[in-house]
Amino acid sequence: MSTYGSFPGTRPRRLRTNPVMRRMVAETRLHPADFILPAFVLEGASEPVPISAMPGVVQHTRDSLKKAAAEAVAAGVSGIMLFGVPEESKKDAVGTPGTDPDGILQVAIRDVRAEVGDDLLVMSDLCLDETVDHGHCGVLDAEGRVDNDATLERYAEMAQVQADAGAHVVGPSGMMDGQVGVIRDALDQIGREDVAILAYTAKYASAFYGPFREAVASSLQGDRKTYQQDPANVRESLRELALDLEEGADMVMVKPAGPYLDVLARVADAVDVPVAAYQISGEYSMIEAAAEKGWIDRDRAILETLTGIKRAGAQNILTYWATEVAQKLG
């Protein structure tokens, strides 16, 4: 009996034979423009302060932040998400540094805009947690609970001062009900219809935020489970999505990214606006720590996780490796 035509006649391995073949048939491609760089700026710092839980990431000085922004532009990164870390003595119950035109975040926005202009989208974290002495994402009521509606008033003020400082995009991350609508109204009232809102639509109460708490010198006691989403729920994210879009969100985001790829895929399938995902501090630190131990190939692991996030439906990815990966792709 002839062996011609014997099984297997179809061999998918033919399309994996060498790097050029694999590149040609790749279904998902990373590009520098996919990335947004989260960056921290520490008020009063004279030199960058390493974040021990996030090897390779620092709390920037104003000057080193400008340098990081310029490097991101040169690498082709699309945006930079700024987090301001005020001096501890300036924190209070209502987050005054967040609405002070001379607060560190507003100063940093102006610095970066002066450095890079419109060559990089300057995005600002719109939340109170870095600026309050209790570490929560909103103001507290008399019983110590986060007061949703009182917090919205603070968010409206924050949106206006961040826009006045030059933010192209504001990122409300506090998961307060109605935050997108209030912020949109506040921006429109001062004639800043051009400032976009990147809604933190599905932000889960995750264990993977741990290293971030060091990065922003968080004063948090307790947890945020009463306002961030329960990791067990998916349909809840779609409800949040519908509300954010109704309120005027220009872009939506899922956070964290890696543990919630199913949520990301559901969100991406449901909308016709850009979808982002945030590869958060714990995701970053796990890879860096395992690589430092020699347990994984660092560069391959980074690219694999980012590819998975994009494959799941993210058009843009916030990642602390944004500039590094963009340089390598370029």
User: Token pair for residue 109?
Assistant: 């926005």
Element housing 316 (H / E): strand 316-318
Which one from 66, 67, 91, 203 is the annotated catalytic residue?
203
Report the C-alpha gap between 128 and 151 in whole angstroms: 9
Cβ pair 303, 325 in contact under 8 A: yes
Cβ pair 154, 146 in contact under 8 A: no
Report the C-alpha gap between 38 and 83 in whole angstroms: 8
Which one from 67, 255, 310, 328 is the annotated catalytic residue?
255
- DSSP secondary structure letters along 10-63: --GGGGGSSHHHHHHH-S----GGGEEEEEEEETT-SS-EE-TTSTT-EEEPHH
Task: Give the residue ranges of the annotated binding site for Mg(2+).
Answer: 240
Count helices and strands (H / E) in the chain: 11, 10
67: annotated active-site residue: no
Task: Give the residue ranges of the annotated binding site for 5-aminolevulinate.
Answer: 213, 224, 281, 320
203: annotated active-site residue: yes
Task: Give the residue ranges of the annotated binding site.
Answer: 213, 224, 240, 281, 320
Which residues carry out catalysis?
A: 203, 255
